[in-house]
Amino acid sequence: MEGKHFLPEKWEDKFREECGLFGVASSKKDAPQLTFFGLHALQHRGQESAGIVVGNGDDLEGKKGAGLVTQVFNQENLEDFHGKLGIGHVRYSMAGANLDANMQPLLIRSLKGSMALAHNGNLTNGHELRQELENNGSIFHSTLDMEILAHLLARPGFTDFEQALRESLLSLKGAYALVILRGETVYGARDPQGFRPLIIGEIDGDYMLASESCAFHTIGGRVVREVEPGEVVKLRAGKLESFRFSRPGPQKFCVFEYIYFARPDSSFSLDNVHRIRQKMGKQLASEYFPEGDLVIPVPDSGNSAAQGYAQARGLPFELGLIKNKYIGRSFIMPRQDMRETQVKLKLSPIRELIENRRVILIDDSLVRGTTSRYIVKMIREAGARSVHLGISSPPVSFSCYYGLDTTRRQELIAARKNTAEIAEHVGVDSLGYLSLQGLQKLFGKDLGYCDACFSGNYPLKTECSN
Amino acid sequence: MEGKHFLPEKWEDKFREECGLFGVASSKKDAPQLTFFGLHALQHRGQESAGIVVGNGDDLEGKKGAGLVTQVFNQENLEDFHGKLGIGHVRYSMAGANLDANMQPLLIRSLKGSMALAHNGNLTNGHELRQELENNGSIFHSTLDMEILAHLLARPGFTDFEQALRESLLSLKGAYALVILRGETVYGARDPQGFRPLIIGEIDGDYMLASESCAFHTIGGRVVREVEPGEVVKLRAGKLESFRFSRPGPQKFCVFEYIYFARPDSSFSLDNVHRIRQKMGKQLASEYFPEGDLVIPVPDSGNSAAQGYAQARGLPFELGLIKNKYIGRSFIMPRQDMRETQVKLKLSPIRELIENRRVILIDDSLVRGTTSRYIVKMIREAGARSVHLGISSPPVSFSCYYGLDTTRRQELIAARKNTAEIAEHVGVDSLGYLSLQGLQKLFGKDLGYCDACFSGNYPLKTECSN
Amino acid sequence: MEGKHFLPEKWEDKFREECGLFGVASSKKDAPQLTFFGLHALQHRGQESAGIVVGNGDDLEGKKGAGLVTQVFNQENLEDFHGKLGIGHVRYSMAGANLDANMQPLLIRSLKGSMALAHNGNLTNGHELRQELENNGSIFHSTLDMEILAHLLARPGFTDFEQALRESLLSLKGAYALVILRGETVYGARDPQGFRPLIIGEIDGDYMLASESCAFHTIGGRVVREVEPGEVVKLRAGKLESFRFSRPGPQKFCVFEYIYFARPDSSFSLDNVHRIRQKMGKQLASEYFPEGDLVIPVPDSGNSAAQGYAQARGLPFELGLIKNKYIGRSFIMPRQDMRETQVKLKLSPIRELIENRRVILIDDSLVRGTTSRYIVKMIREAGARSVHLGISSPPVSFSCYYGLDTTRRQELIAARKNTAEIAEHVGVDSLGYLSLQGLQKLFGKDLGYCDACFSGNYPLKTECSN
Amino acid sequence: MEGKHFLPEKWEDKFREECGLFGVASSKKDAPQLTFFGLHALQHRGQESAGIVVGNGDDLEGKKGAGLVTQVFNQENLEDFHGKLGIGHVRYSMAGANLDANMQPLLIRSLKGSMALAHNGNLTNGHELRQELENNGSIFHSTLDMEILAHLLARPGFTDFEQALRESLLSLKGAYALVILRGETVYGARDPQGFRPLIIGEIDGDYMLASESCAFHTIGGRVVREVEPGEVVKLRAGKLESFRFSRPGPQKFCVFEYIYFARPDSSFSLDNVHRIRQKMGKQLASEYFPEGDLVIPVPDSGNSAAQGYAQARGLPFELGLIKNKYIGRSFIMPRQDMRETQVKLKLSPIRELIENRRVILIDDSLVRGTTSRYIVKMIREAGARSVHLGISSPPVSFSCYYGLDTTRRQELIAARKNTAEIAEHVGVDSLGYLSLQGLQKLFGKDLGYCDACFSGNYPLKTECSN
């Protein structure tokens, strides 16, 4: 009966992260509230469903639903929840996947006690593991990678849970960060390459886990450190322990976390996200410098890079595209010209800034090229003399197998067209990308980042990479 | 956000059936529609959730939700469904059980193909089987008995599905009727005692399964026969096959199906339900015959028996309690005097019929005694000279372990009080039950019925029977 | 987004009442609760919208909405309401009329104090009065007759409100019962012919008004008397006063209140509704007596008459059509064969009662003939040897201008076809109506009833009568 | 049943505009779509309800509802609407005012034809006019000023509608812009002082009206000119006519439209809104120049002024406060610390930018001082060495009677405290407002602006000014 849920950002042409994770082992009974606020801060990582499981010992309670954290949860149902431990999850679901059964956290009920799991990422040997488990009698309710891990953990023969966890994680290949709530403990783990982020935080002497540091700031906490690749951390009230299930491989942290996914107020080990984006804008300014009168970001994704770019070029920075904040949750789009209409519902140019000016538009990335042409058209209709488009990352020419939106390679515009053709498609006078060399200069070459979507250098083989 | 769902009958003090089942293997693509109409006819067997899974071969699609069949499904979402095969389920959920994960049908996804299961009943060795399965590495998402069967079916070593089904069913003990959709086939099965009903129907040369025959009539079909205890039937387009997984035990069909659960227009092997209720009313008239001026049924449960009773006594039958049909789905009850208020919202006496008259009120059963006192009070306030209460079944003194609402024995009024004490509690001038002998006269002694809730003669041992 | 509201009875082919009214002047602050329960008991008089206005003195608060009383109001929003005085309204809206602006009670805000009005009926000089008022500068927000009265009451020159009320009511022609909440008083009035009902009740020394006496019984009150034609009653805490604005004309109480509208447990001055319907059934038995084996009512409208008919004929009375109570509020009907599908969703025959039997089906009235054919078809398909249809009122051949559903005469099947043609259309072996003489025998000829829909004898001229 | 509506900006401490208006007289049947998109662009002017009335000639259809334009309207219900003419309205409702009856447009039904009205502003002689009208028999359903105008227009004695309009507008005193749909014409008018904005636009040869020019840009139209103070414009398909009902007084356009209400991409006669805000920021920089390392706007209200300020001071401009875009419509706030929690749910500082820096925070205005302290606290907690707050408009010391949110003077922090006290209350190291002289320098002294909220110089007397 419910109808559509809130999809405010569907108009954007961006890669999508699969998930955001949060976990906490508190000394007080505030796990539901902390998890709620933590997830809300991670909402940009996934808007299609939200779930929280809380508990003390064996008695776990969970609630999941389609929509935003603030739609699924409210003061009333949060107060029905009780517990010192909690994990939570927000997700952007893959097209076609059964929405209901695939919501996370996954809650497993056992006569020995319950367990809840949530993850972010993508296994590269998922199909193979599943085949093997099914051959041994396992049954699956979902298509989630975490259901594979749950089966592995349940195999007979383990002496204790941590042994089971260590050995099961060794079976998994691919990109993952995960949180598990079981008994009195919240576990967190990252794959040996550390593709996906997972940070440890602290509040009033208790420990937390989150995909990004912004989740800790919102609730008054602070960052402790990142979970290391191949590490399992154990959170109990007031305690943080750790063990390794694998030697860390050469780290391959997803460079797109810096470029687009993470919130500007988050930081990873290299730097603050806003600051690195500014630097990318500055670097772009040294590579691509068309004549222009002012610099306008595509809001909000291009904001930080455009500030850096404008500063480096000595040009005025102007918020020349106004966002309409008021798109309700249930609006069903007109059938024709959907994307153009969506762009118009969301963005409006300030004509007086643009008329007769040479505009340099800055965005963080260009994936399918479906939206930019309408933004450019809009700026031209507002009277721009010329429009130049600077992208503060390299052309996305290769699919990702480690947890981003599963774009087929044919949909990536840079896999089919060269820069001149893309410029023509988008309708700009000139188009400039940050070079791969420029990117590597900032992030360090071979220093621990995965840039496979730009370079095609996949750190791990996959069952289906092409 | 949704709020409460439709609970129109919560005011009644009745045993509750756990479920209603439907299945069809059609030659046309009308399985969603047939299943919808079939389930709607079975709605009285459970109003808390409804689910349908349809498909052709491996590609199964399902939808489940809280509420009535006509709330979960509508013309629009039925048209999104495609398939020649379908199974469906309505249920009344046990208190405390996790609603979402326990909705049926259960949909199992496997690399070899998907499968959906739904059932009605209760295993008596469920805990034991579950323990064993968990020890062997199975993980559970729900507390459903059908998830046990799904695990049994998935065990390695079987040469084909039907062998797996035969052997797995042999492991189950207790009361169950079930439907399974897998590949091109809909399976149906009943336990060896045949506690719970499952009927085979036919429409345009194709076969169907349902808990009650009323489901076939609604859609223009006809009854073929009952599934036999210990039998598995296989429905494919235009075909009905069968095999046995067990010799039938002495049949123990639930006598409460005749007394209360089934719709009056349904029939089981003994007779039509309305007609047997009339006979129970007539039998009651030969055992309990207070002086009275008119006979009034508690609507709608007492209607048939009251007709028989009035006819046998030669007294006027009057529909003297009017039901208010308009209880919306979202009404939240006042906090105090809830039950009395609910009774008043639902029923009103016709004062002119009752004033200064000796009223004989007839109902089909008396379980907890929580509602009758308010109905009696209402009739007294309408001016009755005396109120006599006839119950067309024996006192319910024992809990049921075979699929009815899991009432604890202490809640059964007849387990704590004798007839005189119950009469006083309910506030009537006299109270008469049908005797167990009277019941057995109608149903035949030792002739294939379970009357454990009256007699305490449990046909099967349970893990927790007291 | 909300979708459809609850329309459980749309499948029935019946005249529709426009409204139900309730009012109370209590000494305690329980007006919201009393009004809620009173309206709920009157729900059968209109299911499309519900409204309550309560207050003390000038400060009136109101809430109106589409749907049932129990959908618009709940414990929570009732507790937000405060006041000793209250009026309420349920309605069935006329097709095409703007739903929102036409919901009642109408709440008029004035610098001198607020006022709320609600009514049941139809003015025959509404158009003319409206024309006159508009010519004098009045503006209208709705098409409600009560907005006309509100304008009349506001005309300058009156010395006090009661003078204004007296003179304004004299301007109105047609059928109406009304309640007004103003200051410390609830007023009630009926037109000089007394077409529409309005009853005075009492509870704990305070007075109430309602369209039917069943509203008083539900809340533990009792009937005092009917408001007389041409009378205004004034309710204040613990006080009942009265004055006349007109000499009563020859009373013309709507005979359809007895035949169909009112609930069986209500009574008007002649008799209890259930009892008069039984008598109509008996009278029909003396006029129409086909050979038959059993008598089955169309539930629930034919229940009382069928009991009387069966008793008079000495035939078994059987509730042979089972109603499915579970039609949710949001079910959108299939496009084709809507009415047949609706009938099948609502009703099922008990095949075992009907097979090879000669069935006499009894209903209270036959208006358009759109539903009966499907009920008859259903009974034939259940194996009836013959089907005879008895209608316990005369053929409806004339439109009503006094407050019933504004059926155009062409839609009335008895205005276009004779009895034999109707029998053929409906598909019965024989059809018998109660004769007009038979009706008049029961109600008394010229004794105060309007039977214009049967006889064409309109007591009042209308602007648009044909 | 519906629950709460979307209130994304309630956390802000700002004056509130009452309304946004749109109207169009098209040659095509696209009035519903144009009005929808136009209103959506004006959504920032009011988020509590939205309404559209469309029609051709007399047949008007309207829909109104609580919530955003995209919540009340969708593709489906827009397609049910037909018409070449349309008017629409969005509003922020005053506390306590009956929401439902006060939604606009107001739709008046008359036997001579229907009419719809919508307005933005506040009459200063509303009470007096209403008193007079009530004395003459008018009845009111709402507390809307437009209902007064509707009554004035309906007074008998006028020879035609335009005469009625001319004379009725002369009776009104105060601030208003309005649109009326009647017959084949859409009328627009502004009060003789031109307090509130109303602009004429053009699209494909047809004319439109809107509160701001951004509404025209969204739908591909262009600005023609402003409606002049004291002017009535008449829009018919392809035609624009005009007459005066009053000589224009000295213009008194609301200066707060430039400061806060209007969208940055809108323009009024003086200049583009974004550009004038930048200038205000520059002017502030010449009056208030604490030592600082970077300039951060309070998003989004301070964005433009902060850009101007940073440029003038030669300091880095940083978007150092990140907004969380994902606040769902139904979130119910925690009970305690509501405002602080709301601020935290909405805003997060970029710690790395702020730590050990001297921050100059820029906002456009400071009304009650309720939110700023939490923003300042947040910046301090992120490690700022010092926090300075620059406000790009003067202290708001006087209430507005011309259409802004009816703040009582006691709630205005600058009416109770001096700048030093406010700085202490807000928790900043220093606080600087733009001076009234500075403002007047930009807007021209005595050149047509109302700055009463800063200066106390009220251009019109009011019934209740203090």
The amino acid occupying position B255 is V
- The three state secondary structure string of C391-419 is ECCCCCCCCCCCCECCCCHHHCHHHHCCH
| Angstrom distance (rounded) from CA C76 to CA B3 | 13
Closest CA to A374 of A3, A1, A12: A12
Closest CA to A430 of A243, A235, A292: A292
Whether residue A76 is found in the same domain as residue A169: yes
Q: For B246-269, write each residue's pLDDT tens digit.
A: 987 789 999 999 999 999 999 998
Show the beta-strand stretches assigned E in D301-416.
Answer: 321-323, 347-349, 358-363, 386-391
Q: Which residues of B327-352 are buried (b: 16+ CB within 10 A; e: fewer)?
A: bbbbbebbeeeeebbbbbbbbbbbbb
Q: What is the pLDDT of residue A338?
A: 61
CB D238 within 8 A of CB D27: yes
- pLDDT band of residue D175 (cuts 50, 70, 90) is very high
Q: Which residues of B44-79 are buried (b: 16+ CB within 10 A; e: fewer)?
A: bbbbbbbbbbbbeeeebbbbbbbbbbbbbbbeebbe
Does C3 touch chain D if contact means CB atoms closer than 8 Å? no
Q: Which helix (H) or strand (E) holds A242?
A: strand A239-244
> Which stretch, A327-331, C220-224, D283-287, has highest mean pLDDT?
D283-287
Nearest to D40 among A41, A345, A351 (CB): A345
Residues of chain C with C-beta less than 8 angstroms from the C-beta of B203: none
Nearest to A134 among B110, B130, B140 (CB): B110
> C154–D139: do the CB atoms touch at under 8 Å?
yes
Residue D242, strand partner residues: D233
Domain count, chain A: 2
- Tell me which chain A residue has its CA closest to the CA of residue B70: A1
pLDDT of A112 above 60: yes
- Tell me which chain C residue has its CA closest to the CA of residue A332: C1
CB C271 within 8 A of CB C259: no
CB within 8 Å of chain A, chain C residues 401-420: none
Could you tell me if residue D423 is inside a domain? yes
- What CATH number is associated with residue C190? 3.60.20.10
| Angstrom distance (rounded) from CA D34 to CA D36 | 5
Whether residue A219 is found in the same domain as residue A280: no
Interface partners of chain A (CB pairs < 8 Å, 3 or more) are B, C, D
Under 8 Å CB pairs connecting chains B and D tally to 4
Q: For C148-187, write each residue's pLDDT tens digit.
A: 999 999 999 888 999 999 999 999 999 999 999 999 999 9
CA angle B290, B291, B294 (to 5 degrees): 105
Residues of chain D with C-beta less than 8 angstroms from the C-beta of C156: 135-137
Q: Which residues of D91-113 are buried (b: 16+ CB within 10 A; e: fewer)?
A: bbbeeeeeebbbbbbbbbbbeee
Whether residue B167 is found in the same domain as residue B106: yes
Q: For B278-312, write each residue's pLDDT tens digit.
A: 999 999 999 999 999 999 999 999 999 999 999 99
pLDDT of D6 above 50: no
The shortest C-alpha distance from A71 to chain D (Å) reads: 5
> B316–C311: do the CB atoms touch at under 8 Å?
yes
CB C320 within 8 A of CB C354: yes
Is B464 catalytic? The answer is: no
Nearest to C332 among B76, B274, B327 (CB): B76
Q: Report DSSP state, residue B318.
A: -
Could you tell me if residue B366 is inside a domain? yes
Displacement of CA C174 from its chain's centroid (Å): 16
- What CATH number is associated with residue C422? 3.40.50.2020
Listed residues C218, C251, C284: the one ending a domain: C251
pLDDT of B273 above 50: yes
Residues of chain A with C-beta less than 8 angstroms from the C-beta of B143: 109
Whether residue A314 is found in the same domain as residue A417: yes
Which single residue is written with the structure tokens 């930080």?
A304
Could you tell me if residue A261 is inside a domain? no
Could you tell me if residue C10 is inside a domain? no
Residues of chain C with pLDDT under 70: 1-12, 15-17, 58, 93-99, 327-339, 405-407, 446-447, 462-466
| Angstrom distance (rounded) from CA B171 to CA C141 | 71
Pairing of strands A239-244, A430-433: unpaired
Q: What is the pLDDT of residue D447?
A: 67
> B109–A140: do the CB atoms touch at under 8 Å?
yes
- Tell me which chain A residue has its CA closest to the CA of residue B5: A1
Does B269 touch chain C if contact means CB atoms closer than 8 Å? no
Whether residue C241 is found in the same domain as residue C294: no
Residue range D51-55: average pLDDT?
A: 95
Q: For B159-180, write each residue's pLDDT tens digit.
A: 899 999 999 999 999 999 999 9
Which single residue is written with the structure tokens 């109480």?
C253
Q: Lowest mean pLDDT: which of A52-61, A217-226, B145-154, B332-341?
A: B332-341
Q: Lowest mean pLDDT: which of A219-228, C22-31, D102-111?
A: D102-111
Whether residue D238 is found in the same domain as residue D385: no
CB B399 within 8 A of CB B408: yes
Distances (CA, A) of B168 to B120, B155, B161: 17, 9, 10
The amino acid occupying position C333 is M
Tokens found for residue C398: 């004339």
From the candidates C19, C214, C400, C453, which is the catalytic residue? C19
Q: What is the pLDDT of residue B82?
A: 86
Whether residue B279 is found in the same domain as residue B229: no
Nearest to A322 among D264, D311, D319 (CB): D264
> B272–C345: do the CB atoms touch at under 8 Å?
no
Does D131 touch chain C if contact means CB atoms closer than 8 Å? yes
Which residue intervals of D172-302 are DSSP H helices?
214-218, 255-256, 273-287
What backbone phi and psi angles, to 5 degrees, belong to B399?
Answer: -70, 160
Average pLDDT of chain A to the nearest whole number: 88
Omega before A405 within 30 of 0, i.e. cis: no
Whether residue C50 is found in the same domain as residue C195: yes
Q: Identify which has the larger pLDDT, D45 or D74.
A: D45
CB within 8 Å of chain C, chain B residues 161-190: none
Closest CA to D452 of D124, D158, D112: D124
The amino acid occupying position A13 is D
| Angstrom distance (rounded) from CA C386 to CA C400 | 34
Closest CA to B22 of B170, B153, B214: B214
| Angstrom distance (rounded) from CA A374 to CA A364 | 17
Does D49 touch chain A if contact means CB atoms closer than 8 Å? no
Tokens found for residue A238: 């007031």
Tokens found for residue D206: 């047809």
Residues of chain C with C-beta less than 8 angstroms from the C-beta of B326: 6, 8, 40, 43-44, 47, 68-70
**Please, which residues have CB within 8 angstroms of residue C75's CB and are 6 or more apart in sequence?**
B332, B333, B334, B335
- pLDDT band of residue A344 (cuts 50, 70, 90) is confident
> D330–B1: do the CB atoms touch at under 8 Å?
yes
Tokens found for residue D187: 């009328």
Residues of chain C with C-beta less than 8 angstroms from the C-beta of B272: 350-353
Does D137 touch chain B if contact means CB atoms closer than 8 Å? no
- Tell me which chain B residue has its CA closest to the CA of residue C45: B326
Whether residue A336 is found in the same domain as residue A239: no
Q: What is the pTM of this model?
A: 0.88
Residue range D375-390: average pLDDT?
A: 96
- Altogether, the residues listed in chain A come to a count of 466
Residue range A436-443: average pLDDT?
A: 94
Residues of chain A with C-beta less than 8 angstroms from the C-beta of B130: 111
Select the residue from D17, D348, D362 to test the A interface by mutation, using most A Cβ atoms within 10 A. Answer: D348
What backbone phi and psi angles, to 5 degrees, belong to B74?
Answer: -145, 175
Under 8 Å CB pairs connecting chains B and C tally to 171
> D274–A330: do the CB atoms touch at under 8 Å?
no
Could you tell me if residue B405 is inside a domain? yes
**Please, which residues have CB within 8 angstroms of residue B134's CB and are 6 or more apart in sequence?**
A110, A111, A112, A154, B140
Q: What is the pLDDT of residue B370?
A: 82
Does D265 touch chain A if contact means CB atoms closer than 8 Å? yes
Could you tell me if residue B466 is inside a domain? no
Nearest to D154 among C2, C138, C150 (CB): C138
Does D154 touch chain C if contact means CB atoms closer than 8 Å? yes
CB count in 10 Å sphere of residue B88: 36
Residues of chain D with C-beta less than 8 angstroms from the C-beta of A71: 328-331
CB within 8 Å of chain D, chain B residues 296-355: 330
CB B329 within 8 A of CB B4: yes
Q: For C111-122, write each residue's pLDDT tens digit.
A: 888 999 999 998
- Tell me which chain A residue has its CA closest to the CA of residue C4: A1
Q: What is the pLDDT of residue A463?
A: 55
> B330–D1: do the CB atoms touch at under 8 Å?
yes
Whether residue C417 is found in the same domain as residue C335: yes
Whether residue D132 is found in the same domain as residue D227: yes
The amino acid occupying position C155 is R
| Angstrom distance (rounded) from CA B7 to CA B327 | 9
Does B439 touch chain A if contact means CB atoms closer than 8 Å? no
Report ipTM (2 d.p.).
Answer: 0.88
Does B137 touch chain A if contact means CB atoms closer than 8 Å? yes
What is the residue range of B173's domain? 19-251
DSSP string, D411-459: G-HHHH--HHHHHHHHT-SEEEEPPHHHHHHHH-TTSSEE-HHHH---S
CB within 8 Å of chain B, chain C residues 70-99: 70-71, 74-76
Whether residue A357 is found in the same domain as residue A393: yes
Residues of chain C with C-beta less than 8 angstroms from the C-beta of A3: 1
At B441, is the secondary structure helix, strand, or coil? helix
Nearest to D217 among A264, A345, A348 (CB): A348
> A1–C3: do the CB atoms touch at under 8 Å?
yes
The amino acid occupying position B455 is S
The shortest C-alpha distance from D145 to chain B (Å) reads: 36
| Angstrom distance (rounded) from CA D417 to CA D369 | 11
What backbone phi and psi angles, to 5 degrees, belong to B183?
Answer: 55, -125
- The three state secondary structure string of chain C is CCCCCCCCCCCCCCCCECEEEEEEECCCCCHHHHHHHHHHHCHHHCCCEEEEEEEECCEEEEEEEECCHHHHCCHHHHHCCCCCEEEEEEECCCCCCCCCCCCCCEEEECCCCCEEEEEEEEECCHHHHHHHHHHCCCCECCCCHHHHHHHHHHCCCCCCHHHHHHHHHHHCCEEEEEEEEECCEEEEEECCCCCCCCEEEEECCEEEEECCCHHHHHCCCEEEEECCCCEEEEEECCEEEEEECCCCCCCCEEHHHHHHHCCCCCECCCCEHHHHHHHHHHHHHHHCCCCCCEEEECCCCCHHHHHHHHHHHCCCECCCEEECCCCCCCCCCCCCCHHHHHHHHHEEECHHHHCCCEEEEEECCCCCCCCHHHHHHHHHHCCCCEEEEEECCCCCCCCCCCCECCCCHHHCHHHHCCHHHHHHHHCCCEEEECCHHHHHHHHCCCCCEECHHHHCCCCCCCCCCC
Question: Counting beta carbons within 10 angstroms of the beta carbon of residue C448, is it exposed (0 to 12), middle (13 to 18) or buried (19 or more)?
Answer: middle
Residue range B435-462: average pLDDT?
A: 88
Residue range A238-255: average pLDDT?
A: 92
Q: For A16-72, write each residue's pLDDT tens digit.
A: 667 999 999 999 889 999 999 999 999 999 888 999 999 987 689 999 988 889 888
Residue range A4-23: average pLDDT?
A: 62
CB C292 within 8 A of CB C358: yes
pLDDT of D57 above 70: yes
> D322–A263: do the CB atoms touch at under 8 Å?
yes
Could you tell me if residue C36 is inside a domain? yes
Q: Which residues of A223-262 are buried (b: 16+ CB within 10 A; e: fewer)?
A: bbebbbbbbbbbbbbeebeeeebbeeeebbbbbbbbbbbb
- pLDDT band of residue D281 (cuts 50, 70, 90) is very high
Could you tell me if residue B451 is inside a domain? no
